[in-house]
Amino acid sequence: VQLQASGGGYVQAGGSLSLSCAASGRASSSSIIGWFRQAPGKEREFVAATTSSPTNSIYADFAKGRFTISRDNAKNTVTLQMNNLKVEDTAVYYCAARGVGITVVSRSMSQYRYRGQGTLVTVSS
């Protein structure tokens, strides 16, 4: 398993959840790790991504101000802290990593070589 996502669950609107992505094997050497999500009946969309440098992160507009992506290089984990969750944040969340040596962040999951299984986030009203 290259990427293992965890931390999903059930939360009321306004609550918080922290998702974790543990990288192993080749994926752990990737400079770029991102989070994507797919809601029922909708296409998968970009949420956030980060590089090995913690200051170089990008977010989807809906995530700005509510979600924070962070990376612990020593533990090979990337965390997505989600605050003030909304019902529309309900989705399966996936983490993905770009190929080793690639340093450009992408908002397209097709550009990510390694993809983990998803973790379900359900936000109730």
**C-alpha closest to that of 56 among 27, 77, 79, 31:** 31
Q: How many CB atoms lie within 10 A of CB 101?
A: 8
In the predicted model, what is the mean pLDDT of the chain?
Answer: 93
Per-residue pLDDT, averaged over 31-50, amounts to 95
**Are 106 and 48 in contact, with CB atoms under 8 Å apart?**
no
What are the tens digits of pLDDT across the range 50-109? 988 656 899 999 999 999 999 998 899 999 999 999 999 999 999 999 988 888 899 999
Q: Percentage of the chain with pLDDT > 70?
A: 98
Position with higher pLDDT, 53 vs 29: 29
